[in-house]
Amino acid sequence: MDRLEQLALGNTVIHRLHPMAKLLTTAFYVVIVISFPSQNVSGLVPFVLYPVVLMSLSQTPGRPLLGRLAVALPFSLAGGISNLLLVREAAFHVGNVAVSQGAVSCASILLKTLLSVLAVLLLIATTSFVEIGGQLARLHMPKIFCLQLIMTYRYISVLLEEAVAMYTAYALRANGQRGIGMRDMGSFLGQLLLRSFDRAERVYQAMKCRGFQGVYLGRIRAGLSGKDALYTGALMGAMLMLRFFNLSLFLGSLVG
């Protein structure tokens, strides 16, 4: 996540947009993409444009995004493959080859996952996590959850460092054993949990010393500017139109 956080410090036209505009359009995009019926892959195709254009305008390199996508895809691939095996009725034919409804559904699941995860990753790569948390709170998400989100995100790296330090100490005295033995796993995880509690307590003390009283929403921003509102409205309008008007089929019919 470090790399994405670094990217979020950029200063492109997308980075400069109001975080609320980016949050709303991303949420709307994800909802629209997921709402497509499983057999309507062609309708989804124009939605590929959104992440592509966003990546280009925000100068976000593909590599860090693709690496993270690879983590999410296997889960939907498992769901897609079960459709492929269980739903064998033909959806259409390409020449003499029948393409099953399961294959179409599998492609749809994979495409939806790819587009949704990519959109969220692009949001993180163009907006600081504190800003996202603050905007979620302004959308009336419980403030405690928003704060937990910000803190957890920051402390994933601290927890990992703690776990690595403990593992190094373990490995140095484990006589060449690879990994953590099952009989030691309980106490290892228990120690990690106790250390996490201690750390959480000290962090809370530090927060209280700097005036924290249970709510923190980050930077107080003005509302959406005309430019932000135009971006949000235009994108949402276009997405809504593409949800109910199959552009791929329309273009295909023109060519046909």
Partner 1 sequence: MLRVSGLRVKYNAAEAACALDGLDFSIRAGERVALIGANGAGKSTLLLSLVGVLSAASGSVVLDGIELTKDTLTRLRKRIGMVLQNPDDQLFMPTVYEDIAFGPRNFGHGEAEIEARMDKVLRALGIFHLKHRMAHKLSGGEKRLVTLAGVLVMEPLLLLLDEPSSFLDPQARRRLIKILAELPQALLLTTHDLDMALDLCGRVLLLKEGKVHADGPAGEILYNAALLEDCGLELPLSLAHREKP
Q: Is 238 in the site for partner 1 (CB under 8 A)?
A: no
Site for partner 1 in 2-41 (CB under 8 A): 2, 5-6, 9
User: Contacting partner 1 (CB under 8 A), which of 16, 88, 202, 227?
Assistant: 202
Q: Is 129 in the site for partner 1 (CB under 8 A)?
A: yes
User: Contacting partner 1 (CB under 8 A), which of 155, 167, 170, 188?
Assistant: 155
Measure the CA–CA gap between 250 and 255, rounded to whole angstroms: 9
Question: Encoding tokens for residue 175?
Answer: 């006589």
46 close to 242: Cβ distance less than 8 angstroms: yes
In 97-143, which ranges are E strands? 97-100
Closest-CA residue to 126 (of 240, 43, 23):
23
CB of 13 to partner 1, least distance (A): 18
User: Contacting partner 1 (CB under 8 A), which of 41, 150, 235, 239?
Assistant: 150
Q: Is 97 in the site for partner 1 (CB under 8 A)?
A: no
| Long-range CB contacts for residues 220-226, cutoff 8 Å, separation at least 24 | 221/18, 221/19, 221/20, 221/134, 224/18, 224/20, 224/21, 225/18
Site for partner 1 in 156-175 (CB under 8 A): 157-158, 161
Dihedral-angle region of residue 140 (phi above 0 means left; psi in -120 to 50 means alpha; beta otherwise): left
Measure the CA–CA gap between 13 and 21, rounded to whole angstroms: 13
Site pattern 207..226 for partner 1 (x: CB under 8 A):
xxxxxxx--x-xxx------
CB of 256 to partner 1, least distance (A): 51
**Residues in contact with partner 1, total (CB under 8 A)?**
31
Looking at the Cβ atoms of 124 and 239, the one nearer to partner 1 is 124
DSSP string, 32-90: HHHTS-TT-HHHHGGGGHHHHHHHHHTT--HHHHHHHHHHHHHHHHHHHHHHHHH--SE
Measure the CA–CA gap between 189 and 118, rounded to whole angstroms: 33
User: Contacting partner 1 (CB under 8 A), which of 206, 234, 240, 251?
Assistant: 206
For residue 54, give the amino acid letter: L
Looking at the Cβ atoms of 17 and 239, the one nearer to partner 1 is 17
CB of 110 to partner 1, least distance (A): 32
Looking at the Cβ atoms of 10 and 79, the one nearer to partner 1 is 10
CB of 156 to partner 1, least distance (A): 10
Residues of this chain that interact with partner 1 (CB under 8 A) are 2, 5-6, 9, 128-130, 150-151, 153-155, 157-158, 161, 199, 202-203, 205-213, 216, 218-220
